Amino acid sequence: MATLKELVKKPGILSPGHRLCAGCTAPTLVRQVLMAVDTPVVIGNATGCLEVSTTIFPQTAWRCSWIHNAFENAAATASGVEAAYKSLKRQGKIKDEFRFITFGGDGGTYDIGLQSLSGAMERGHHMLYVCYDNGAYMNTGIQRSSATPRGADTTTSPAGEKVPGKPANRKDLTAIMAAHNIPYVAQVSPSHWNDVVTKVKKALDCGGAAFINAIAPCHRGWRYPIEDGIEMARLAVDTCYWPLFEVVNGEWKLTYKPREKKPLVEFLKPQGRFKHLFAPENEHIIKEMQEQVDRNWEALLKRCGEA
d(CA 12, CA 306) in angstroms, rounded, equals 38
- For residue 196, the surrounding DSSP H or E stretch is helix 193-204
Q: Is 115 helix (H, G, I), strand (E, B) or coil?
A: helix
pTM exceeds 0.95 for this model = yes
User: pLDDT of 278-294, one tens digit each?
Assistant: 999 999 999 999 999 99
Phi/psi at 20 (nearest 5 deg)? -65, 150
Cross-strand partners of 246: 186, 253
Q: Is 176 helix (H, G, I), strand (E, B) or coil?
A: helix
Task: Read off the pLDDT band of 104 (50, 70, 90).
Answer: very high
Exposure string (b/e) for 161-173, b if CB count within 10 Å is 16 or more? eeebbbeeebbeb
The amino acid at residue 256 is: Y
d(CA 246, CA 198) in angstroms, rounded, equals 11
Closest listed residue to residue 224, CA positions, set 266, 286, 180, 279: 266
User: pLDDT of 6-50, one tens digit each?
Assistant: 888 888 999 999 999 999 999 999 999 999 999 999 999 999 999
The number of C-alpha atoms within 13 Å of 279 and in the hemisphere containing its C-beta is 14
